Structure 1
């Protein structure tokens, strides 16, 4: 990679981090305004931490609709403007994603087969033999070729057990544990693989973290056509995301639909999100990390609508 490309990449990364910090600061200000407004409307005392700032916050602007331009400047979901998530996925739905899939070094035959099936899962994806390349080399090559997402599959003793999804060029990167992996050829009465763009089904992703996880997964897929007969389902059940893939068609009577599973089948559990790419692991900020040994069982249900995060 040329010196010019390295400087440009560093500059874009700095600009991205600066925009993110501005958005977070303005989002915090807007949240404080909302708390003050709620206290005034309900006739309650303004929170102690905000009493000294209340007059200044009230004088800084109205809470009502600030208009499109101010909303963009404020940023943050609380202000109704664009967030760093919007910045990361600003071309989603406009341009089809381009996904590259690879494995850890020296993969087993089962992991190679699993990577081929994952390649069939994502339209417009390519499978890359890992060889002896490092993560930074692969990430730089993906950036240079305008790849939108880089996926790495890992294994333990021949069993696929982890998936890393890194969105390019600036992140985020999500780390998932895999369990109960069943290959296509191990599913009885398996249907033929469809190459149609799938309709996506997300169930029980109600919290902010659930929405974040949903965005990371759904933007791996292009927008399907209305007549597509392929579905991909992500079902959140007690923080385990159950993945299933089906095709459907009307039955002979034309009144109902018949589902046919086409595999593969596995479960995913999110345990970490960083605000950077895979090659920046250790240097990028951590957005979320699962610490089950510090929390109760109830608090571990971080993506369920029953326990907001």
Structure 2
């Protein structure tokens, strides 16, 4: 098992290196092509290789293999790269999810973990106990778990949600607020075990699509006649979670809230798993103390996302 994991990890790193190489070359070609089309001076870094790159551009086409090898922004509709390697065959096999909490959880956090287990189909809840994170991740990999979810609390109120996709990542960190559990929802409808239909609203940027993919692939493909709906609505970078069932009454649709309710705010995405975060690359991180942070919307504006390498 250890040899297999080491081999798969080496293959993943090799693919990522090759894709980074092709991505850099393609970026130079795009800059040169834009300079030629708009009749503007060629960038100084491209002048030495401008003729060689121009010859390569003439023989290129926009075939599907180009997008698959080079890839675009992470989480795009038609891109396949190393970051989305584990999501490539989503829908073929249902996800398998493990949910746990921080150490010594309160009774409310245990109750909330049980409610999350009902939200995600094919999920199991595990008591944290005294297990180390490396032991939990290793056990999940050995049992073909696709996603590992950890819930943290502050004074009995759930405050943080971590979604770790296995076996390589990514790991998304969300701040949780305004949590209302199922038993606190007025006129609560009974829980349905049908696979839910998903609604994602206002996820427009590359980071928004990446976040939507991380949340979307926690759920299996629903049937057409499913009457269960889960909504992730983005407003000012706060993702509102709502859970409903519906029925038709005299050609009208009546919504019944199932619960729970909460809001999520993404603050970091790492290209690794929880057992090796120190060695993982940072794909994106929230910088709330920048002068322009109040004006920027990272999930719903086109200019809201920068990679960690571009920031540095």
CA contact (8 A) 1:239 1:300 kept: no
Note closer, same or farther for the CA distance 1:299–1:19 as it changes in structure 2 (3 Å cut): farther
Q: What TM-score, normalized by structure 2, do the two folds share?
A: 0.91
Shift of 1:300: 4.1
Corresponding residue pairs, total: 302
Map of 2:34 onto structure 1: 38
User: Mind listing any 5+ residue stretches in structure 2 that lack a counterpart?
Assistant: 306-312
Q: CA offset at residue 137 of structure 1?
A: 0.4
SS in 1 for 2:137: helix
Q: Which residue in the other structure is 1:47 paired with?
A: 43
2:199 is equivalent to residue 204 of structure 1: no
Q: Deviations over 1:123-150 (max 9, x none)?
A: 0111111111111101000000000000
1:112-151 equivalences under 5 Å are 112-151=110-149
Give the counterpart of 2:106 among 105, 108, 127: 108
Deviation at 1:77, TM superposition (A): 1.7
Aligned to 2:160: 162
Choose which of 258, 266, 272 in structure 1 pairs with 2:268.
272
Unaligned 5+ residue runs, structure 1? none
Partner of 2:213: 215
Whole-Å separation in 2 of the counterparts to 1:40 and 1:288 = 33
Give the CA deviation at 1:182. 0.4
Q: Relative to structure 1, is the Cα distance of residues 304 and 226 closer, same or farther in structure 2, using a 3 angstrom cutoff?
A: same
Matched residues in 2 for 1:48 and 1:11: separation? 41
Return the offset for 1:299.
Answer: 5.2
d(CA) in 2 for partners of 1:247, 1:131: 35
Other-structure match for 2:245: 247
Q: Tell me the SS of whatever aligns to 2:136.
A: helix
The verdict on how the C-alpha distance between 1:210 and 1:81 changes in structure 2, with shifts beyond 3 A counting, is closer
Q: Who is 2:308 aligned against?
A: none
1:261 corresponds to 2:247: no
Q: Which residue of 2 aligns with 1:84?
A: 82
Q: Is 1:177–1:271's contact at 8 Å kept on the other side of the alignment? A: yes
Work out the CA distance in 1 between the residues paired with 2:99 and 2:116: 8
Cα deviation, residue 94, structure 1: 0.6
